[in-house]
Amino acid sequence: MDLNPDAQVDTSQIEDQRGSGGRGGGLGGMIPIGGGGGRGGLIGLVVTVVLVLLGGGFGASQLLGGGGGGGQTDNGNLNQECSSANPNRLQNLDCRNALYVNSIQNFWQGELPQAFGQQYRPADTVFFAQQTNTGCGPADSGMGPFYCPPDTKVYIDLTFYKELTDRFGAKGEFAQPYVLAHEYGHHVQDLVGTEAKMRQAQQRDPGNANRYSVALGLQADCYSGV
Ligand SMILES: [Zn+2]
């Protein structure tokens, strides 16, 4: 995978909620989403499909340690490390992921009007550490990256990539943009109404709720491939 060495990283599409580290703790008494209450609507990653498509050898050396806290956005560090003044910005995990988000959204900006006859609406990606609050309720890193329709944001703890490498053996360099593109696929499904239709189908036909949800995930994989 090649990155344009002159690429400008637009960090305005990222909300960095990781804080400056050392905040620790954060929200107590987390209730994992998907297990009961909350507003539902949380759409996670279909890891198995990712694994089929990946290969290669992007090391895990640049992965972050995670700093705790969450909720407050402060892009100060991100802006600095990803500025064009930093010649090594594309070796930086944060900046690469911000660039993937830019690239994915840039694609849909052009493609959505052609494919679906409607304008694309940008969605931010939130970098969080360990846990955060979302429009879908409290979330933690164990849930993996997800898209939250009520607040139209993608959430990711970048340490997920370490798990992807270590636990699932998905070491390929393309794993990271693929994960983000999958979540933006869910955003597209939200924009064009597929997600709402899926929810309606689940209510009409609860016995097949899981099948509908899997189909939505597979379509998001398709959009990721696109
Ligand atoms: Zn998904």
* pLDDT, tens only, 210-220: 999 999 999 99
Cα 88 to chain centroid, rounded: 23
Distance 152 CA to ligand 1 centre (A): 14
Spacing, Cα 42 to ligand 1 middle (Å): 9
Who contacts 150 (Cβ-Cβ below 8 Å, separation ≥6)?
A: 39, 41, 135, 136
CA of 107 to the centre of ligand 1 (A): 19
pLDDT digits (tens, 9 = 90+) for 5-64: 999 999 999 999 998 643 333 333 333 333 333 344 566 654 444 443 443 333 332 233
Under the banding of pLDDT at 50, 70 and 90, the label for residue 1 is confident
Q: What is the pLDDT of residues 128-152, one digit of tens each?
A: 999 999 999 999 999 999 999 999 9
The contacts of residue 185 (CB under 8 Å, 6+ apart) are 219, 220, 221, 222, 223, 224
For ion ligand 1, residues whose CB falls within 5 Å: 43, 217, 220
Give the CA-trace dihedral at 47, 49, 53, 57, to 10 degrees: 10
Whole-Å CA distances, 150 to 9, 21, 170, 219: 27, 28, 30, 20
CA 83 – ligand 1 centroid, Å: 31
Give me the percent of the chain exceeding a pLDDT of 90. Answer: 69
Indicate yes or no: pTM above 0.85.
no
